[in-house]
Structure 1
Amino acid sequence: MATEKIKKTCKFGHTFYKSSDCPTCPTCEKLKEPASGFLALLSNPARNALLYHGIDTIQKLSEFTEKEILKIHGIGKASLPAFRQALEENGLSFKEDEHKK
């Protein structure tokens, strides 16, 4: 049984259909995606999680350990290879874990 989709319009005038009460406009979400940089490599949930925590540059990402990044809701182990590669390409790395020294 298919759920009926309701026509909605966001505050920017984009029209879309949703079967839930979710107000998120797919067009607005697509426009928010960065065209380049390490954030462009991530899924929306992972990108939004980093942005929520103020991590919007590769330099800021390098200030955290892998463990700290993995504790952020929305970030999983699948994101680590992309993070490592982006850090390496910029001559950076994750912060060293103090407990491993």
Structure 2
Amino acid sequence: MKWRMRCLAKVLLVIVGIAVLGWAVMMLWNWVVPALFVGARAIDFAHALGLLVLSRILFGGFRGHGGWRGRRQWRKWQSMTPEERERFQAEWKSRHGFRSGDE
């Protein structure tokens, strides 16, 4: 029962978050764009959600910064032996221009 309540709460939180972001996009668009561009018109909530999705597709993607790639790299780092980590760090420093006195 607890698991269902948590899932329901998360789904509700996501829906509320999407609604708030859509409302914010609509308010910002209707405040800024008609004032800047002659002939631009105000948009409604559905258009604001569409604009939000379009901007995420074009500029942000749907994963956060790092996403699964960062976790995969962290697991790789954790599975290295101390000797492998030292070798990796030395190679990384030599590639990126660090000298022994820069640490």
* TM-score calculated relative to the size of structure 1: 0.25
Structure (1/2) with the larger helix percentage: 2
Structure showing greater radius of gyration is 2
* Structure of higher RCO (CA pairs closer than 8 Å, 6+ residues apart): 1
TM-score (norm 2): 0.24
